Amino acid sequence: MKTISSTLARQNFSDIIETVETEEITISKNNKNIAVIISCEKYEELVRIEDILHTKTAKLAIQEGLASEAEVKKIFSI
């Protein structure tokens, strides 16, 4: 993963857009990481993984009696 300053990110935004197609970029400000830019494909993959984990967590919570189906549906919007 490549790390660049927020100043360089502003100055080279077009280059960053091209780079994120192949690798993630971390943006730093005052030597602190403040953001990560990823491709849409990677973002969609992460959202799918999150959905899978939420579903499994919800089912386990119901199965273990930690939450009712209504509570789980309210929390996870499933």
Contact between 35 and 26 under an 8 Å Cβ cutoff? The reply is yes
Cβ count near 24 (within 10 Å): 14
CA distance 45 to 52: 11
pLDDT at 70 over 70: yes
CATH of the domain at 19: 3.40.1620.10
pLDDT class of 78 with cuts at 50, 70, 90: low
- Whether residue 7 is found in the same domain as residue 33: yes
Which residue from 28, 29, 24, 51 is spatially nearest to 40, judged by alpha carbons? 24
Domain with 16, as residue range(s), is 2-38
pTM for the model stands at 0.72
Tell me the average pLDDT of the chain. Answer: 91
